[in-house]
Amino acid sequence: MFLDEKRNLYKLFNLPCTMKLVWGISSLIKYAEFICSERELFSLEEDDDPHQLGGNFIIDCNGVVEFLHRSKTPVDRPFLSVLLKQVKGFSE
């Protein structure tokens, strides 16, 4: 895991900052489900950008990007099994 306070990786991986995608109907439905199930949504730090979409990336020890997933919505994430399969390939 990498903390990118200056958002250098966001720029490098060309991750979008978009109000339309972050607050789209599918995201609002997911947030409503979280609220109804009494799950905590998230907390924003003072300098966080709530409109910045994220992603999942696996970078090997040589700096090669082995896996890249740019999120299309705030809840768009690859399955853990996909990530584990990718990481398992490093040891082979």
Locate tokens 């109000």: which residue?
Answer: 19
Q: Give the whole-angstrom CA distance, residue 82 versus residue 85.
A: 5
Point out the residues of the chain with pLDDT beneath 50.
none
What is residue 81's predicted lDDT score, i.e. its pLDDT?
Answer: 92
pLDDT 10s digits, 10-26: 888 888 877 777 777 87
Q: Where are the domains of the chain?
A: 8-91
**To 5 degrees, how large is the angle CA 62–CA 65–CA 66?**
100
What is residue 47's predicted lDDT score, i.e. its pLDDT?
Answer: 64
Q: Give the whole-angstrom CA distance, residue 20 versus residue 11.
A: 19
Cβ–Cβ < 8 Å for 55, 15: yes
